[in-house]
Amino acid sequence: MKKINGGVCVPVGFKANGIHCGIRKNKVKKDLSLICSEKVGTCAAVYTKNLVKGAPLLVTKKHLENGKAQVIICNSGNANTCNADGIEIAEKMSSLIAKALKVKTDDVVVASTGVIGQPLSLEPIKAGIPELVKGLSAKNGKAAAEGIMTTDTVLKESAVEVTLGGKKCHIGGIAKGSGMIHPNMATMLVFITSDAAISAEMLQKALSYEADETFNMISIDGDTSTNDMVTVLANGMAGNASIDSVNADYRKFREALGVVMADLSRKIAKDGEGATKLLECRVEGASGRRVARTVAKAVICSSLFKAAMFGADANWGRVLCAIGYSGADVDVNKIDVSFRSKAGLIDVCKNGAGVDFSEDKAKKILLEDEIEILINLNSGKTRATAWGCDLTYDYVKINGDYRT
């Protein structure tokens, strides 16, 4: 397996495009994206656990009951959530693009992102579909990635190549996410494609497992969105023998999928609203998977710790505090904590107690834009990683008038 450049158009048989159709007032920003496979493939998805769900999620879930899809359409600038006609609008988006591409409406994944509770007009979408379809190309993956962005400052894509059954297969993905990120299933909006042949059941199994290891381990602000969704569409055009059971090829596919998802997770966390630093919390020596994940996520979610990282303050007590209230079964007298960046490594806590360290060296380490928080629970062999960002003044500025 190896990482390669590109996103959703890296796998064989996929084209994409992104345009400005008029949903957003800023004509420079794209607001409608399309991803299309040459043939129907298997498709899996995970959705937000928020009880308030965007209408597109409900429609997509219905369409994917048979585990198949061919097209993904997504608009930005409006979440189509909490609207009386939301289901109708999402269904109509699906039927309009299905008609234009001559595919089945049930084979369309539909998604929306943006402001909640604002009516979504179909007119700009309907008017933009001819241009959207005309521009479909294997070279327009970045345009599709741009079209799903809201407060994102950079587009996010990732791809890998992996050999399955003697055939070169590919997995590529794009993501949007910068704020309202504290997932409890998946996260934000993420669209992943693959040319591997894999059953819908095995695809769902792989996605659900890796979502827990990656997207569910991000937190930017503690808010779980209403429109969070991750989909994986695999068209089988690489020609490998179909993966229909948990075998060696399934494990290789899942690992490759996990690499793409982890890469996108880091990029989402680093692009958190107002963020100046990526925080990566690595926990080892845990007694079990749940303990490791709970500890890592608790530290990343701590507003006090995030604020300390913004100020480059080596306040390791906030790490211990977060572990202590996390609910994880740990021996606090065995915990070691260190901070690391490209500027160096410094130990700040041993066996649950502070150690002498240079504040000047710590400051230098924490002034970097990517910081690792290394925690050893010294109670087992399990590991977990969580991603987040610092909490800055700009986060409040961005969200103080997001709607208006």
Residues that are catalytic = 187
Total count of residues recorded for the chain? 404
Structure tokens at 184: 């409890």
Pairing of strands 336-341, 344-350: antiparallel
Structure tokens at 35: 């991803």
Which residues make Cβ contacts (< 8 Å) with residue 311, sequence separation at least 6?
none
Please state, in angstroms and rounded to a whole number, the distance separating the CA atoms of residues 118 and 107: 27
* Cα distance from N-terminal residue to C-terminal residue, the chain: 46
Q: Please, what's the b/e burial string for 30-56 (b: 16 or more CB within 10 A of its CB; e: otherwise)?
A: bbbbbbbbeebbbbbbbbbebeebbbb
Interatomic CA distance for residues 164 and 148, integer angstroms = 31
String of b and e for 154-166 (b: at least 16 CB within 10 Å)? ebbbbbbbbebbe
Structure tokens at 212: 């827990």
Contacts of 88 (CB under 8 A, 6+ apart): none
Distance of CA 262 to the CA centre of its chain: 8
Handedness of CA 397, 369, 322, 326 (dihedral sign): positive
What is the residue whose two structure tokens read 């609910």? 327
